[in-house]
Amino acid sequence: MSAYLTGLIVILCLNIIIAYSVFLPAAAGQLNLGAAGFMIIGAYMDAYLNSADDGLGLPMLLSVPAAALFTALIGFLVSFPILRTRGIYMILATFAFAEIVAGIVLNLEVVGGASGFPVSSHAELEDLLPVTIGVILFGFYLISTRFGLAMRSIHDDESVAILFGVNTRLIQVGAFTIGAFLGGLAGALYGHQFDYIEVQNWGILFSIFVLLYVLIGGTQTPWGPLIGALFFTFVPEMLRTFGEATGWELIGELRFAVFGAIIVGMMVLRPEGIMTRTFLELLFRKVPRRSPQNPPNNMEGV
Amino acid sequence: MLLAQQIINGLMLGSVYVMVAVAFTLTIGMLNFLNFTIPALFMVAAMITWAATAAGFHWLVGASLGMVVAIIASLIIERFTYRYMKAKYGDATEHALPLVSSLGFLIIFEHVVIMIWGTDPMSFNSPFANAQFVIAGLIFAIPQLISLALSVALVFALSLLLKKTQLGRALRSIAEKPDTATLMGVDVGRIVPVVFMMTGFLCALAGILFTINYKNVSPYIGDHVATNAIAGMVIGGLGNIWGAIAGGLIIGMVEVLSIHFWGAEIIKVPVWGLMLLILVFRPTGLFGHTRIGKGKF
């Protein structure tokens, strides 16, 4: 496998994990524009625990889960004030959270401040792949449980979910905390892949892109973040390769602009994201195609 | 004396934030739409002003060109964001759809500008580089004073427009509820572009003034200004244009004063901490009233 392809797959794996981190709250109706904040906490906590010179010198197998758990704890604590807000307010509050985290870490001299922090142990793609697959399977499993059902009901209609006795506060805090755990995991793994972490890697654009993966992929099914991350990782690269192959260098240079146009077009034509429940049913033929002659029978498949 | 000078600088910086914050607050208040193309419009106007001046035209030519381009771009954005985004399913993430398209536009504009002019910051030869006067040892730069006065005057005119005119009444009825506004005979499809034209105008003006005052441009200037303007808007109260003035000036002051006391590294913490506190404990903002956001957000 060429180095280029390996690098691309590493980025894809990290994108998938961080996409699930934002997807879980989104599946419970909470939009999180603060992915960068959790990733920074995870990456720095892990690097600090792992570093032999400045930190505790824990092995990678211990430091990565510990960093992810620590991020989950932070996520749990901030979820109470943040979940007081909703809609646009929640987007702004999570965004403010990420900026505050970046601001604080930038001033922590113990982890290098603005000049960044080196990560001692290096992990290979072979270590990253099983974790990524585990995260994907976990995402699918979680949505299939009763907890996941409750998340989806809040996503579709919070008032009705409350009427049916769903403890929305518990579910939302839970989804946000698990999301924070995955965000911390992604951050920790990022550090071990690239051996050096800097707060400047995780700016506003990063959080925006992660939220876009999830919304473009679709928040209705656990396929959404997977497809969104694949789309976001490969389409700009494909546009570049296409530009090089056909000699239309403009497409290669403008690949992100073309990509932005694809996003705008998607939102006009298919605002609910690439993968939806109906599309999934259509793909796997769980229900017959609905037509006026063949009205939907709601008892079927129950 | 140094502190007094810093307070003046904070007010001047705040006046740029004020215009951008008013642009944000207009689209949120009227259309419940967090318009992320605002940094792009700001940046495009600034870049065009710089490019035309660098190419040898009078700076006014560049500024007018930048303004026209920003307004046209804003109208194109309206066609592809707000107009298509009618609630279809009513689920929890749907209100974010116009936001996503506007992020798409932000990416498009930034990368087109990067392709044309590159990512390097450019310095702008301000025609008013030395236009300043000194009172009691405090320096007042004339273009900055003009932009402060201009932004206050503009917001005053805007609030008169909203209060007194037919157009303002139509806009406020759309803010209340678009469907009812349609029933009352307001042509929503024709009025909404007006909001976007105002957005384009305010952002472009802010971008041009910023270029003249701070004498440098880059494809990323919009991001910093717009995120601070968002913080200002939240502090003043979403949808409240007088709140946006106060919030923008407060953020300008907070930024300059925290740099003065604690250095440039820490700047994010006070600005965003203040915003988060306001969001959590007083989501209507300092000057908002309780009706803002009720049933809409």
pLDDT tens digit string along A185-237?
A: 999 999 888 888 888 888 888 888 888 888 888 888 888 899 989 988 888 88
pLDDT at A266 > cutoff 60: yes
Residue B32 CB neighbour total at 10 angstroms: 19
C-alpha pair distances (Å), A24 with each of A153, A190, A239: 13, 20, 30
Between CA B46 and CA B57, with CA B52 as vertex, the angle to 5 degrees is 135
Quick check: B264 contacting A, CB < 8 Å? no
Give the C-alpha separation, B155 to B81, whole Å. 25
Match 């051996």 to its residue by tokens: A195
pLDDT at A39 > cutoff 90: yes
State how far Cα A266 lies from the chain centre: 19
Residue A70 near residue A76, CB atoms below 8 Å: no
Asked if residue B31 is part of any domain, the answer here is yes
Asked if residue B108 is part of any domain, the answer here is yes
pLDDT at A295 > cutoff 60: no
Quick check: B275 contacting A, CB < 8 Å? yes
- A38 pLDDT tier (thresholds 50, 70, 90): very high
Summarised one tens digit per residue, pLDDT across range B269-280 is: 888 888 888 888
B115 vs A103: CB contact, 8 Å cut-off?
no
Asked if residue B140 is part of any domain, the answer here is yes
Instruction: Look at residue B294 in the predicted model and tell me its pLDDT.
Output: 39
> Which of A55-64, A141-150, B281-290 is most confident?
A141-150
Summarised one tens digit per residue, pLDDT across range B38-49 is: 999 999 999 998
pLDDT at B114 > cutoff 70: yes
| Percent of chain A residues past pLDDT 90, beyond the cut | 26
- B219 pLDDT tier (thresholds 50, 70, 90): confident
A261 vs B103: CB contact, 8 Å cut-off?
no
Among A79, A99, A248, which would you mutate to test the B interface (most chain B Cβ atoms within 10 Å of its Cβ)?
A99
Looking at the 3D structure of chain B, how many domains does it have?
1
For residue A86, which residues of chain B lie inside 8 Å, CB to CB?
A: 297
Pull the structure tokens for residue A85.
Answer: 């807000």
A29 vs B93: CB contact, 8 Å cut-off?
yes
- B67 pLDDT tier (thresholds 50, 70, 90): very high
| Percent of chain B residues past pLDDT 90, beyond the cut | 9
Q: What is the mean pLDDT of chain A?
A: 84
- B295 pLDDT tier (thresholds 50, 70, 90): very low
Quick check: B103 contacting A, CB < 8 Å? yes
Which of A88, A104, A257 minimises the CB distance to B108? A257
- B293 pLDDT tier (thresholds 50, 70, 90): very low
Asked if residue B233 is part of any domain, the answer here is no
- Average the pLDDT over B11-22 and give the result: 87
Three state DSSP letters for chain A: CCHHHHHHHHHHHHHHHHHHHHHHHHHCCCCCCCHHHHHHHHHHHHHHHHCCCCCCCCCHHHHHHHHHHHHHHHHHHHHHHHCCCCHHHHHHHHHHHHHHHHHHHHCCHHHCHHHCEECCCCCCHHHHHHHHHHHHHHHHHHHHCHHHHHHHHHHHCHHHHHHCCCCHHHHHHHHHHHHHHHHHHHHHHHHHHHCEECHHHCCHHHHHHHHHHHHHHCCCCCHHHHHHHHHHHHHHHHHHHHHHHHCCHHHHHCHHHHHHHHHHHHHHHCCCCCCCHHHHHHHHCCCCCCECCECCCCCCCC
- A68 pLDDT tier (thresholds 50, 70, 90): very high
- Average the pLDDT over B286-296 and give the result: 52
Domain that holds residue B131: 19-228
Instruction: Look at residue B89 in the predicted model and tell me its pLDDT.
Output: 55
Residue A9 CB neighbour total at 10 angstroms: 16
- A299 pLDDT tier (thresholds 50, 70, 90): very low
DSSP secondary structure code for residue B94 in this structure: G
Relative orientation angle of helices B188-214 and B166-176, to the nearest 10 degrees:
100
Q: What is the ipTM of this complex?
A: 0.83
- Average the pLDDT over A58-73 and give the result: 89
- B125 pLDDT tier (thresholds 50, 70, 90): confident
Give the C-alpha separation, A118 to A195, whole Å. 6
The per-residue b/e assignment along A243-281, b for 16 or more CB within 10 angstroms, e otherwise, is beeeeeeebbbbbbbbbbbbbbebbbeebbbbbbeebee
pLDDT at A1 > cutoff 80: no
Nearest to A181 by CA among A28, A265, A73: A73
State how far Cα A160 lies from the chain centre: 27
One DSSP character per residue, B14-35 reads HHHHHHHHHHHHHHHHHH----
Asked if residue B242 is part of any domain, the answer here is no
Summarised one tens digit per residue, pLDDT across range A83-119 is: 887 777 888 889 889 989 988 888 887 777 777 888 8
The per-residue b/e assignment along A111-129, b for 16 or more CB within 10 angstroms, e otherwise, is bbeeeebebbbebeeebbe
Q: What is the pTM of this model?
A: 0.85
Nearest to B246 by CA among B209, B287, B215: B287
Give the C-alpha separation, A297 to B271, whole Å. 55
Residue B285 near residue B236, CB atoms below 8 Å: yes
Nearest Cα of chain B lies from the Cα of A171 at a distance, in angstroms, of: 15
Instruction: Look at residue A287 in the predicted model and tell me its pLDDT.
Output: 56
Asked if residue B246 is part of any domain, the answer here is no
Three-state DSSP state, B218: coil
Nearest to B190 by CA among B206, B158, B166: B166
Residue A70 CB neighbour total at 10 angstroms: 21
pLDDT at A296 > cutoff 60: no
One DSSP character per residue, B254-288 reads HHHHHHHHH-GGGGHHHHHHHHHHHHHH-TT-SS-
Summarised one tens digit per residue, pLDDT across range A132-158 is: 999 999 999 999 999 999 998 888 888
Nearest Cα of chain A lies from the Cα of B129 at a distance, in angstroms, of: 32
B238 vs A88: CB contact, 8 Å cut-off?
yes
Asked if residue B293 is part of any domain, the answer here is no
| Chain B, nearest residue to A262 by Cα | B104
A31 vs B93: CB contact, 8 Å cut-off?
yes
Asked if residue B245 is part of any domain, the answer here is no
B276 vs A254: CB contact, 8 Å cut-off?
no
Summarised one tens digit per residue, pLDDT across range A169-187 is: 899 999 999 999 999 999 9
